[in-house]
Amino acid sequence: MDKTKSPEVVAGVIHSVFFQASVLAIMKKKPPSLVSLCLGVIGRHFEDIIEDLAEIAAIPSTMKMALVAIARRRRLLNDDVIVALADSSWKILDLSGSEVSDFGLSQVVKTCKHLQAVDISRCSKLTSVSVSELLQNCRSLEILRWGGCPRSENTARRCLRFLKPILEHVEGDSWEELDTLEIAHGATSLRWLLWPKVEKEQLEILSEECPRVIVNPKPSPLGYRGLDIPREARLDVSLDDPMVEDIDPKIWAVSGFVPRISPSPVSSSEDLPIAEKFRLAFLERDTRLAPKRAKNARQHQRRAEKEWVTMNSRAKALALASLASRSLNIRN
């Protein structure tokens, strides 16, 4: 018996294997739920229902959080949206990169007093006023993310004093030995602070005056100093990712949403290799000079067009004819 197989038989076997693999892949892939499909449809037309959110907000809190996450990714998250959807049962609040202002955050923290993780990074409209109210109203806050853009960095520096404990009429060598009721101010429950661009001086202040707060924890097989780092305290994930993991990302792709990229949690630029310093300096300079290059290119193009009109006789004739036609139209 000939043990060799014809090409047709081999092709049939390969086709059968690929078909079975495809079937298994389809069976393993979990189809989206009906709720996720409905949220996707709402999210796709979110800008059309913003004015009516207050009237349709009688939905489960998880669905509200999903709508907030979609609005943030579609760059539609502002005071009107977050105030209309805020729910007292929320424990996570992700406002990063949004247009929420002091008014919106102040209203939300009055409703959501049990927040445990908050992201206000890259929120250029937030100031120390609303951050102070956040720390005063949310006594269960354990994870805070801030900074990320020039205005947010400035706000973070101004709010650094809110994290420091202020003791009034107490005795003792260490404030860590005191009961939390004896601490008049300060974020008593804060445990993790994510501040990627923290400067060396600020890091030293936090280390000396807020030893309970861990800044930019680095994941390791053994955790941070023997502690397990919660998912919300990792720099490479967004707080609201679980809310939209079952929703089609094409819904917010048109808005230019960029997923969070894990920055290098380096406390100081002195820790960077020299090659990385040169690369970052080049990128910063290239970004800073990009508008100037574009302006020069436009000026060069206009000069080239003028020179072409000056040197080319046909172009001169067309230009004169255009001026004559324009003057005749004006007279008529």
Residues with pLDDT less than 70, the chain: 1-30, 57, 166-186, 220-227, 254-272, 308-309, 311-312, 314-316, 319, 323-324, 326-332
pLDDT tens readout for residues 66-119: 999 999 999 999 999 999 999 999 999 999 999 999 999 999 999 999 999 999
272/209 Cα distance (integer angstroms)? 26
CA angle 257, 145, 51 (to 5 degrees): 50
Domains of the chain by residue range: 32-261, 274-331
- Predicted TM-score (pTM) of the model is 0.65
257/309 Cα distance (integer angstroms)? 44
CA 267 to chain centre: 21
130/136 Cα distance (integer angstroms)? 10
Query: Given its phi and psi angles, is residue 277 left (phi above 0), alpha (psi -120 to 50 degrees) or beta?
Result: alpha
CATH class of 32-261: alpha beta
